[in-house]
A and B are shown apart, each in its own frame.
Chain A
């Protein structure tokens, strides 16, 4: 299978609104191999978030064929889809989306709880330490800075040892310095631990550091070489 993790063939995502049909993703082909670091870029409304959600099995496609880890996603029952996602896919969001009532450590442990994995506190703690949060383990999200929250969110995404990490504008809500730190962390995870990372970003400085850039416009890939210029 030549370590292809995700294979999308002519996938479409159509939102049917009363007044019109919005084609958020159109006839899109894409393959993602293990160990890649992909930046999805493009103007606002071009379908980056939609595509990321689809590839991460959070959202369904309207038509086309999407294989994730060799499985045809459209054919999977909900519980198999949940199992596939929970074992193999991690998510990081622009606005962190930590559970406000839970501490950093508890937020990180949450996916373990859902995946019925043994709640290895040590692993969660060492992840937080690795991300420089040793002093924040028992803090609530509201007691942390944006950059710290996003690092907790990364720890949460990594705790189940996923094969792919999806990050939707992970630096979008952060100041330049914290944003760079987050980006560096993601890059290191990719380089040192061979984690496959797919992120969206508006920041061409980050985008240009990716091994591969996918430009979207109106739901279509306009260019997928890093030689392309950001339009």
Chain B
């Protein structure tokens, strides 16, 4: 891969759930070592976009290149190799509930490397140390608080030292102090390991703090994908309402409104 190539390059992505179009003509890029924040209101398709970036669904059309490889075309073996370079922390953590925190963090190493048990344990403890969860490796996920789950999920995501890190809603449901700590952690990771990090969030403050660039989604379309300064300065009405926290006051079409209420009844 040429170092000038973007680490993430999405072109004309269109996706559906069933017959409902969720994402429409999404294109954006992120360079290696960049923190890209995906912002947007609830239901705008952020998590859906993330799931496609992770190769969990097949898009209707468009292409997604990660580290120079188009994951919509990749065969299983190549995808398997690529996944060793990707770390993911899901919105709800998605820790394996039947395993301890330590085993959760160790799992990628056990599956992908031939290291011996002690080395694996030490490496996973180092990552738990990074996320301030040292000493909690013997607890079960059910015994953790919400913030601890997010941090444990992050430890599992970075245990392979991936080049791409995806993080869905790091600060949702956390108190301001913990979420600020997570933001710091994300910045540290980028600086220390030059990871490309994609963070999905709708917390403005944290977005502005960590982002190099921001992609704003609205109802499945990209409103803007630019630097923090440019997004702040934007005079697009939808972006302003998202930034200024004003409610959307769209003109309502009375006919369409009636149609929605009475659809499939008459």
B partners with A: no
Interface residue ranges, B against A (CB under 8 Å)? none
Interface residue ranges, A against B (CB under 8 Å)? none
